[in-house]
């Protein structure tokens, strides 16, 4: 697989002079087309900062970022992005919120009706397309937000702890939905998380990031078969990956 995202000596410092805070980097990283890579690290290590720099929403202090060979010099439009707090607007229905993504991009709604139906069905929201966000649970809102982020068929998905505020059972259910969507559509996914289990369950590779200033300490391939269900999480390979990563973070003094 060819690299879709390339980072070369990328770093970020906030402020200047004696008040400067070195938040992240320098980092070199190649992310392959169709890969699902998790940025795993403790709070404050710069995971979200890196994701925002890839999206072009935050300028790096040094280094270069390229998407498909083109330098990132500003906000990128051909991506899907999702944060811990969803961006659904309360006055639109679920379908209306998904269509809003298309309207803002100037894309014809008629060309995407079947795709919207497919996405809604894939996350079990087909019977809730006419409901407003306030009529849905938190998990259902996040499922709608996934559809919103994927409706224009982006090549790259940037997900910043989208499951962070959900209860354990809902998180497990949405992990399965996200895994299924990735297997069907195969976008390149950069997934920010501080959950070791979540990173192993979803990823083709896990980038283990040090405490601030964040640097990639280890890139761990997760060569487990998809889909990864409950049985996979009880496998010796899964447990060994957990142990390895826990030992790395224990060495940092964060667990």
Could you read off the pLDDT of 72-107 as tens digits, one per residue? 999 888 899 988 878 899 999 999 999 999 998 999
For residue 25, is it within any domain? Answer: no
Q: Could you give the C-alpha distances from 189 to 92, 145, 202, in angstroms and in order?
A: 27, 15, 10
State whether 36 and 162 are in the same domain.
yes
Which of 154, 182, 208 delimits the end of a domain? 154
Q: Could you give the C-alpha distances from 176 to 133, 163, 201, 210, 227, in angstroms and in order?
A: 22, 12, 10, 28, 8
For residue 22, is it within any domain? Answer: no
CA dihedral 103, 163, 32, 29 (to 10 degrees): 110
Find, among 85, 76, 134, the residue nearest to 105 by Cα. Answer: 76
Distance, CA of 30 to CA of 40 (rounded, Å): 16
Distance, CA of 119 to CA of 98 (rounded, Å): 10
State whether 165 and 250 are in the same domain.
yes
Residue 28 CB neighbours (<10 A): 13
The H helix count followed by the E strand count for the chain is 8, 10
Residue 23 has pLDDT above 70, yes or no: yes
Instruction: Report how far apart the first and last C-alpha atoms of the chain are (Å, whole number).
Output: 35
Residue 91's SS3 state is coil
- Determine the structural domain holding residue 192 and report its residue range: 30-59+73-78+156-255
For residue 208, is it within any domain? Answer: yes
Q: What is the CATH number of the domain that holds 240?
A: 3.40.50.300
State whether 150 and 192 are in the same domain.
no
For residue 139, is it within any domain? Answer: yes
pTM of whole model > 0.85? yes
Residue 59 CB neighbours (<10 A): 12
For residue 120, is it within any domain? Answer: yes
State whether 180 and 149 are in the same domain.
no
| Domains of the chain: total | 2
Which of 154, 174, 193 delimits the end of a domain? 154
Residue 1 has pLDDT above 70, yes or no: no
Which of 125, 154, 183 delimits the end of a domain? 154
More confident residue, 247 or 253: 247
Residue 66 has pLDDT above 90, yes or no: yes
């Amino acid at each position: 697989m060819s690299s879709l995202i390339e980072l070369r000596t990328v770093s970020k410092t906030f402020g200047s002079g004696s008040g400067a805070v070195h938040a992240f980097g320098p980092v070199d990283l190649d992310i392959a087309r169709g890969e699902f890579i998790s940025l795993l690290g403790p709070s404050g290590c710069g995971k979200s900062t890196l994701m925002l720099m890839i999206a072009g929403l935050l300028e790096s202090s040094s280094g270069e970022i390229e998407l498909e060979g083109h330098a990132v010099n500003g906000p990128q439009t051909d991506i899907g992005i999702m944060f811990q707090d969803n961006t659904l607007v309360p006055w639109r229905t679920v379908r209306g919120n998904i269509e809003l993504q298309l309207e803002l991009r100037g894309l014809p709604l008629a060309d995407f009706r079947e795709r919207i139906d497919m996405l809604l069905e894939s996350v079990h929201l087909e019977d809730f397309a006419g409901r407003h966000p306030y009529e849905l649970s938190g998990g259902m809102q996040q499922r709608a937000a996934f559809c919103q982020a994927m409706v224009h068929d982006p090549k790259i998905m940037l997900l910043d702890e989208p499951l962070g505020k959900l209860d354990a059972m809902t998180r497990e259910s949405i992990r399965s939905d996200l895994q299924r969507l990735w297997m069907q559509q195969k976008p390149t996914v950069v997934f920010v998380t501080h959950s070791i289990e979540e990173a192993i369950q979803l990823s083709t590779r896990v980038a283990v990031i040090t405490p601030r200033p964040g640097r990639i300490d280890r890139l761990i391939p997760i060569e487990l078969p998809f889909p990864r269900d409950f049985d996979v999480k009880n496998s010796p390979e899964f447990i060994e990956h957990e142990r390895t990563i826990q030992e790395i973070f224990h060495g940092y003094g964060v667990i």
